[in-house]
Structure 1
Amino acid sequence: MSNNMPPLSAIRAFEAASRHLSFTKAGEELGMTQAAVSYQIRLLEERLGFQLFTRKTRRIELTEHGAELAAKVVESFTSLRQAFEDVTDKNAGQLVVSSNTTFAVNWLSNRLVHFQMQNPDIAVRILPYGPDAHPRFESSDVVVSACKAPPKDWIAHEVVKATFTPMLSPVLAETIGGVKQPEDILKLPLVDPQDPWWEIWFAAAGIPDVDLSNYPNSRMGSQALEANRAIAGQGVAILTPYFCKSAIETGQLIQPFELTCRVEAESWFLSYPPINRTSRKVRLFRDWVSDELKRDGML
């Protein structure tokens, strides 16, 4: 049986160069000089009988054959790296989770201790991102994003649908003798009156074309922050009931109407890149989140 495998050193150089599209950066990653990487690529091209890169001024590009080979080689090396990581991280490791503030504060912070008790060998690092930030898709093992679609090639799981309805402090409601009709909400200050969810909910409640332009703009951009303002009696907030269960159960907030609405395209998603599909720590975290949501009747 003939061995058609080129030298591993040449394959490693090609894999790194195809990811960086730079012999210099590939050399820095592999601890080689740019000339050494170029030499390994040339050996590989001679072995294969076709060109892998087009050399241009200060840059390189993959040829058609090179791109086809790179896709498979990079995937293979990724699987190898993941295999070694899973073995070495079996008894120790770190899971980096980038999560939007609402999910991090109103969900993860109350439950994460249970995951850590079940998986004491996994250290979890939460990277919450605020109203003006974006999920750290490039530097996290797992991302929980709100109303922001994960990258197209990522594996995504819908975890919570973004339903919404007005909520407020019972103390604030009593300042007008209680909120009995949707119109009563307009007698009170609103938290984030520019949120498009307000118009959607009022239209569903029989008040189309509601004009909220006269309300002071108080954009918070995070349900966790908006809920805190509502609890403090500073206004009526439009929130997702699931994330306010504790505040409702303790009487800090009331949901005056059963009517909830949602935008079909908006949800919280748990996602991760394809290279993490076989990661032990990602799999355990994903399954734990799923079990928690099933226990709450959300899945």
Structure 2
Amino acid sequence: MTEAPPLQAVKVFDAVARHLNFTKAADELNMTQSAVSYQVKLLEGFIGAPLFVRQARGVALSEHGESVAPLVRRALNDLTQAFQSAKAETADLLVISTMQTFASNWLAPRIGNFQMANPDIAVRLDVSNHLVDFERDRVDAAIRSGKGGWPGLKDHLLGGGNFTIVCSPAYYERIGSPKTPADLSDCIFIGPRDEWWPIWFAAAGLKPPAALSRPGVDVETQQMAAVLALAGHGLALVHPSFVAEEIKTGKLLQPFALMASTGFNYYLVYPETNRLPRKTQLFRDWILAEAGQTILTR
């Protein structure tokens, strides 16, 4: 059997190679600096060549260290992922990172159906707009907004890139039941500084009306915009799928068929791996089927 280097020494080498500092590596590994030095010497003895070049202000990777460091980092990541995947196979908690708007308007009303179909899996929604780091955060899958193609991640298009105007029936009558976007000259626009408004009017072949420059109520989420629209306080821009029930029941109107898009869509993402945990597979299959049954469109 081929002799293998001591794993502890390999982990120590990786830490020193990333920090280029024995003290910082020792802090990360909860070891003394002398212990870190000893492990590095063990590994250097194993290969018969120095891995670092000692300098006045620290260390640098030697030629051998430069060639080995990325291979070691990849191997340790693969090893960690293998054990995490094996652990995930038996775990019964599915953690999904999702943005506030998507969680409130689309996922939360539907996730109960997934749990009913998979009673052995508990679900926790990690609602945050921060970009999840799968290597650091304990998350199984995430919903991201963008154009796809994130390095190291498998992505599946869910849709939701299009948006349009909605308002309450009462407000629609109050502004004279406009028949075309050109009729929206003196209206209250919810979130007037939202970059979506110029995009929507451009899609209509129009310049934004002067009313958009008036002070108004700025909102942070589509959910807030929809609530104001439901209360009759003006026109809001939302993904129609997020207010599908309100449109269906007549609480909100979609005055025009015109849709616009920033080019961004919602995606289900998770790390590329040869062995996807069962719970993630089940969630992937469920949400893709669920998205296909809604009016989420590209």
Q: State the TM-score bracket (shorter-chain normalisation).
A: 0.7 to 0.9
The answer on 1:33 being equivalent to 2:32 is yes
Q: Using a 3 Å threshold, how does the CA distance of structure 1 residues 19 and 158 change in structure 2: closer, same or farther?
A: farther
Unpaired runs of 5+ residues, structure 1, are none
Distance in 2, matches of 1:68 and 1:252, equals 64
What's the counterpart of residue 128 of structure 1?
127
| Partner Cα separation in structure 1 for residue 180 and residue 282 of structure 2 | 46
Q: Deviations over 1:3-43 (max 9, x none)?
A: 24212232232244445555445445555323212211121
User: Which deviates more from structure 2 when the two are superposed, residues 154-163 or residues 40-49?
Assistant: 154-163
CA distance in 2, matches of 1:249, 1:186: 27
Contact 1:164 1:260 in 2 (8 A): yes
Write out per-residue CA displacement over residues 212-238 of structure 1, whole angstroms, 9 at most, x where no aligned residue. Answer: 453224321311221121112111011
The letter for the 2-side match of 1:286 is R
What is the aligned partner in structure 2 of residue 210 from structure 1?
209
Alpha-carbon spacing, 1:83–1:117, altered in 2? closer, same or farther (3 Å): farther
Q: Give the residue type in structure 1 aligned to 2:102.
A: F
Aligned partner letter, 1:134: H
Matching of residue 107 in structure 1 with residue 106 in structure 2: yes
Q: Structure 1-normalised TM-score?
A: 0.83
The answer (yes or no) to whether the contact 1:52–1:66 under 8 Å persists in 2 is yes
Which amino acid counterpart does residue 95 of structure 1 have in structure 2?
Answer: L
69-78 or 141-150: which moved more? 141-150
Q: Give the Cα separation in 2 of the matches to 1:284 and 1:22.
A: 44
Residue 168 of structure 1 is matched in structure 2 by: 167
**CA 1:182 to 1:149, structure 2 compared with 1: closer, same or farther past 3 Å?**
same
Write the letter of the residue equivalent to 2:68: L
Contact 1:157/1:271 (8 A) holds in 2: yes
Cα distance change on mapping 1:100 and 1:64 into 2, 3 Å: farther
- Aligned equivalents of 2:82, 2:138: Cα separation in 1: 18
State the AA in 1 paired with 2:288. Answer: S
* Separation (CA, whole Å) in 2 of partners of 1:111 and 1:97: 14
- Could you tell me how far apart the structure 2 residues matched to 1:62 and 1:108 are? 48
Any idea what SS the aligned residue of 1:242 has? helix
Q: How many residues align?
A: 294
Percent identity, please: 40
Change (3 A) 1:121 1:49: farther
Provide the rounded CA distance (Å) in 2 between the counterparts of 1:127 and 1:208.
39
CA shift for structure 1 position 152? 4.0
Contact 2:184 2:209 (C-alpha < 8 Å) held by counterparts: no
Instruction: State the distance in 2 between where 1:49 and 1:128 align.
Output: 50
- Check 1:93–1:180 CA distance in 2 against 1; reply closer, same or farther (3 A cut): same
CA shift for structure 1 position 62:
4.1
- 1:48 shift after superposition: 1.6
Alpha-carbon distance in 2 for matches of 1:295, 1:270: 16
